[in-house]
Structure 1
Amino acid sequence: MSSASGVRRARCPEEPRPPPPGGMLWDLAGEIRTLLTLPAALTMQVAHPAVGAGVDEHSVFRTDPWGRAERSLASLQLWVYGGERAAEEGRRLRRLHRDIRGTDAHGREYHALDPACYAWVHATGFPVYRHAQRYLGRRPYTDAEERRLYAEWLRVGRVLGIQDRDMPQTPREFWPYYRRMLAEELEDTAVVRELVATDRYVPPPDRGPRVPRAVLRLLWPLLLPLFTRLRRFITIGMMPPDARTAIGLPWTPRQERRLRRLGRVVRTVVPLLPERLRYLPPAYAARKAYRKGARG
């Protein structure tokens, strides 16, 4: 008997793959309109007491907000456009969160990789994308588009190491889970209050597009009040209304009208931009390389 026939080879599990080129996230995740949705998703995440406590105790969002945002955005781009690097980025994030643990404001122990917490952090992206589409897109998603988007978001979750058993597998299963989280888990945490505050100091960016650091520092006392008010407006506005209510964030009809006007401008102007300006650099590079490979 040959050794090949006598030994059953163990099959290595296949690496999770990011969403496919040409899919919905391929068009959405790297486009500059997505930048308007990220603060809402982050605020919904930290409205979970365990997630909020982890960010409060272990994040550098107070001391290095711009660097943290830049690193988070670069990571997100890898999830969708990173190809073979996506799975390694998922492993890196799990290693990064392995030692994040502590006690939340209610005295309950938490761990960043607890499946319920880790899944919620990822889950927030889907309702925020769906809600933002009503302002930033030409029309709301159809049911079929929502199913496609959710299926792709599940693929991103697998890249991040989220098990299928820990995430609803269809939009129909997602919404009861989502409503339960709003009703039973979310609250106005200390980190939520900081993220939507208009009187909290934020250091100036280290750099800006074609603006020297010294000039930014000089102008920052004038720009900061405008920045914090805009951040609050975008954060709450791009958050689904039921999430706003669950967290206790106010929103007025006047603000809604302003957001709709802003949405009309954004969805008119952004599609007219050349692709290299419309997409973030990693997304643009990946899209360009994919087209070149498809032609070749």
Structure 2
Amino acid sequence: MTTTCCKGSAPKSVTEEEVKLKASVRKAYAEVAVKNSAGEAVGIQSSCCGAPKEVDVDYCKNLGYTEEDVKTMVDGANMGLGCGNPTAIAALKDGEVVLDLGSGGGFDCFLAAKKVGKTGRVIGVDMTPEMLHKARLNAQKGGYTNVSFRLGEIEHLPVADNTVDVIISNCVINLATDKAQVIREAARVLRQGGRLAISDIVATSPLPEEIKRDLELYNGCMAGATPVGELKESLENAGFTNISIQVNEASRQFIEKWSYNDSGAQNYVASATIEAVKT
């Protein structure tokens, strides 16, 4: 399996700070997976980094899911970890190969599986073994035979070149320590004409240093948000066209609930839908 980055680029050297951030994220989401499996709440109830005992249907509808999406899903797949619904903007078709970056418990993978049908295939990649274990059990419980899950980092995808039709992701790229490398990897694995359909948190104003340095806010999908202009530049540099980054201003209301101690993060970040096509 080839793993060469697009345009001959190479990932930058990993710093001690990045190692610390990645370890913190992995630990936080391992805890989410374990506690959710035990039926316990963790984090903030309606939160990108929370795992409520019962995910609030109205909250999920605000993110773009339907009531049917939520109520017909296998128990344990939806942990309230997203900031949108990438499957709603992906225009998935029968037979397509879909890759989910940071697949968690498998919720978006299973929604995608229904849309691509038996001739399609969905691959979920997650760096947290506890999440991977949970997702695989959920796939068995739901009978999703066209979905598989792989352990790996989204900066270094365990996926071959030019094999994917659509990449989806839900509030995960902001957690990566090298966002530009994630975009390059996305371009590598997508076929020509393949597309991105992503929901993520982006920075609409420069983040104060006290927010950027806060590990809890980083794990909560706020402190690691990429500025919109920087994200667009990364997409262009990786060879994407038809780039659309649509900020959802109303999302600041639920982001305020994610935050703690009145950090004011909602004044600097918001959720956005990100679409692009690989040329």
Larger Rg: 1
With normalisation by structure 1, the TM-score equals 0.29
- The structure whose residues are more often strand, as a share, is 2
With normalisation by structure 2, the TM-score equals 0.30
Select the structure with the greater relative contact order (CA < 8 A; seq sep ≥ 6). Answer: 1
